[in-house]
């Protein structure tokens, strides 16, 4: 059964978030919730990832842990598209056969998924791979994140999509599921539907995906910190700390 408690929390947070109100009336809002003067170092983090990648979900949570170890750093996160399956049909594909092709055998597939489940527990991710029936075309989920980001809800959109797919087994390639995500994070589902039915951001995101691949990124997640330092893979939180130190030194 889906865990609905996080949805209730997300809706309550959306109602209490000034960014939602500000976006609704066309004003900018500062999403930072830190006390004034508590942040000494600003840092941009470009997160190159795909919404159907479990390692990306794990990597996001480990980045959260790393930032919690560095309270003096204010991270501006930017979600960047990477399509693991750029030729995926719009309707997606059946997941069991997809995974068998990917891993080569049922035994290897079970080993990798079991390892991911074990990795997810310490960071609060209850992977429920058995509930996922299809591997979707992920382009529209990236478009939805870009749309939500323009309304001050990028982080909430990412969280909702990952939870929908990896914890509830929902097909995040379907417009109806993405509109449900809009409702959960406090945005207008009808506005989301109109956006998804348009061509907005489609070409721009496909070009962005192409550009990252042209630059040599072959796997995700990939974290680009401060525009120049790269951490590839779902690394342990401690892997980020030396880069944080470099950025502190450069910011002095």
Nearest to 49 by CA among 142, 153, 161: 142
Q: What is the pLDDT of residue 81?
A: 98
d(CA 140, CA 173): 6
Domain 41-251 top-level CATH class: alpha beta
Q: What is the pLDDT of residue 251?
A: 77
pLDDT in tens, 81-137: 999 999 999 999 999 999 999 999 999 999 999 999 999 999 999 999 999 999 999
Residue 147: CA atoms inside 13 Å, Cβ hemisphere, count?
Answer: 27
Domain boundaries, the chain: 41-251
DSSP string, 186-248: TS-HHHHHHHHHS-TTHHHHHHHHHHHHHTT--SS-EEEETTTEEEESS--GGGGHHHHHHHH
Average pLDDT score over the chain: 90
d(CA 63, CA 93): 30
Q: Is residue 27 over pLDDT 80?
A: no
Q: What is the pLDDT of residue 146?
A: 98
Is the pTM value of this prediction over 0.95?
Answer: no
N-terminal to C-terminal alpha carbon distance within the chain = 51
Q: Is residue 165 over pLDDT 90?
A: yes
Residue 41: CA atoms inside 13 Å, Cβ hemisphere, count?
Answer: 19
pLDDT in tens, 181-227: 999 999 999 999 999 999 999 999 999 999 999 999 999 999 999 99
């Amino acid at each position: 059964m889906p865990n609905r408690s996080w949805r209730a929390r997300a809706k309550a947070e959306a109602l209490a978030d000034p960014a939602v109100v500000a976006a609704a009336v066309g004003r900018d809002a500062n999403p930072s919730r830190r006390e004034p003067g508590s942040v000494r170092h600003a840092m941009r983090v470009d997160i190159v990832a795909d919404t159907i990648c479990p390692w990306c979900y794990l990597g996001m949570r480990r980045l959260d842990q790393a930032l919690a170890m560095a309270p003096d750093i204010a991270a501006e996160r930017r979600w960047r598209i990477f399509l693991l399956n750029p030729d995926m049909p719009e309707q997606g594909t059946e997941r069991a056969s997809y995974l068998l092709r990917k891993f080569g055998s049922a035994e290897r597939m079970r080993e990798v998924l079991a390892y991911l489940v074990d990795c997810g527990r310490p960071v609060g991710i209850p992977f429920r791979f058995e509930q996922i029936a299809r591997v979707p075309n992920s382009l529209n989920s990236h478009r939805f994140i870009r749309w939500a980001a323009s309304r001050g809800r990028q982080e909430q959109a990412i969280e909702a999509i990952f939870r929908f797919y990896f914890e509830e087994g929902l097909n995040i390639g379907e417009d109806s599921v993405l509109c449900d995500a809009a409702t959960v994070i406090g945005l207008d589902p009808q506005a989301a539907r109109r956006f998804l039915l348009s061509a907005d951001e489609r070409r721009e995101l496909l070009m962005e995906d192409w550009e990252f691949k042209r630059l040599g990124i072959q796997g995700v997640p990939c974290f680009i910190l401060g525009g120049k330092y790269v951490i590839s893979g779902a690394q342990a939180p401690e892997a980020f700390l030396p880069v944080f130190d470099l950025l502190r030194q450069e910011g002095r």
